[in-house]
Amino acid sequence: MGYLAEFYLPEHEADLADLARRARAGAREVSRRASAVTFVRAMYAAADESCFVVYEADTAGAVLAAGQAAGIAFDRVVQITASDAG
């Protein structure tokens, strides 16, 4: 299942490449010790100072654990459906 994790990130702290590395590492750590979690993508909406991270996981709890392992406190995690069809 896909999940979207959202959190506040002030623009002056926004380093999307670093955030993506941390999110990926957190997902790998959780996958090694518990539930399978895969980092998919990180996105930043500068106008809203909002950051979004997309994961594939079995549960929202696994996504929260991946965020915690990465040092990211998510404000919200919701299940999503996505399509790349054009």
The pTM for the full model equals 0.91
- Domain extent listing, the chain: 2-80
Greater pLDDT, 29 or 85: 29
Q: What is the pLDDT of residues 20-71, one digit of tens each?
A: 999 999 999 999 998 899 999 999 999 999 999 999 999 999 999 999 999 9
The three state secondary structure string of the chain is CEEEEEEECCHHHCCHHHHHHHHHHHHHHHHHHCCCEEEEEEEEEHHHCEEEEEEEECCHHHHHHHHHHHCCCCCEEEEECCCCCC
Write down the pLDDT at residue 86: 66
Fold of 2-80: Alpha-Beta Plaits (3.30.70)
